[in-house]
Amino acid sequence: MMKKVKPNIPLVDHIYTADPSAHVFEGKIYIYPSHDLDHDGPSNDNGDQYAMEDYHVLSMDDFDSPCVDHGEVLHIKDVPWAKQQMWAPDAAFKNNTYYLYFPAKDHDGIFRIGAATSSNPAGPFIPQENYIQGSFSMDPAVLVDEDDRAYMYFGGLWGGQLEKWQTGSYDPNGEGPAITEPALGPMFAELDDDMLSFKENPKEISIIDEDGNPILAGDEEKRFFEGPWVHKYNGNYYLSYSTGTTHLLAYAMSKNPQGPFVYKGTILTPVLGWTTHHSIVEFNDKWYLFYHDASLSGGVNHKRSVKYTELKYNEDGTIQTIEYES
């Protein structure tokens, strides 16, 4: 089945927001987006057009309530190890503490993932002095499972530098696999109980087809590019992600949070703008997809806006594709 979604009103229009990570905390919907800046800098495959330097938190009591901007909750000037480009964040709750996870380039120009903490889901957040040891690339997403174990998924190609870490250390000349080779998957690491460090070295997640064969790098409608998100529904783990060059949100399923994940299909067809980045959350027994497009700016890739739509499952647990109409 295909659901069609027309460009709707952005959650907020006084600032540009993207990469929404939505959660239900304290009975309300909290959204942790990146904050696009309006500027005239260069645009390239390294993502220099995405010059974000702070985070705001948005919230709604429910979907009939106005969206509240709680203001700036963290700025790059307050993060000792970070130099530039605070891209897509995520948040989690454990230990009676709210954690904000975010990527940024360090002073050597290498993407790392940091953490900040707060007693309030709306912030402000106090950053740790250093990034999470062993972290790299971008787009952190954290799942706190029913057994209270917490997992981080992360990674992105091109500007996200994931292909530069294939040897286990940073290679500035690293390139991705050939089109006939298995595509790079997102990275996975279990978090320590303090939620501020990894229990283990990150490992790559495998995405395979129904026959058990790895998705190939040349299959750009199915392969992972960036923006991993994992949620759980009826005992299944769903890994959803952006395919990048083909501008789809795709997903795969597994019974294990570490995978392998079996590719299943498309969640959302291409939106207006180059990037697509999302989250999936349950609220009052319904499921919702949060995403962004560039409709507010007329298609400018680094001036995006957060939106949402209802997401529905088929009886077999697969997700109904949502068709974006421009």
Find the catalytic residue in 13, 19, 45, 48: 19
- Asked about 19 being catalytic, the answer comes back as yes
> What pLDDT is stored for residue 39 in this prediction?
62
Instruction: Please pick, among 36, 226, 285, 323, the residue that the annotation labels catalytic.
Output: 226
Which pLDDT score, from 0 to 100, does residue 27 have?
98
Q: Positive or negative, the Cα torsion across 55, 66, 326, 3?
A: positive
Which residues in the chain come in under a pLDDT of 70?
1-7, 39-50, 326
Q: How many CB atoms lie within 10 A of CB 132?
A: 23
Cα separation of 236 and 280, whole Å?
14
Tokens read off for 13: 């229009």
**Residue 226 annotated to the active site:** yes
Within the chain, what is the greatest distance between any pair of CA atoms?
Answer: 49
What pLDDT score was predicted for residue 6? 47
Q: Give this prediction's pTM.
A: 0.95
What is the spatial distance between Cα 313 and Cα 51, in angstroms, rounded to a whole number?
36
Domains within the chain, CATH numbers bracketed = 2-324 (2.115.10.20)
Share of the chain above pLDDT 90, in %: 91
Q: Which residues contact 235 (CB under 8 A, 6 or more apart)?
A: 255
Chain-centroid distance of CA 163 in Å reads 18
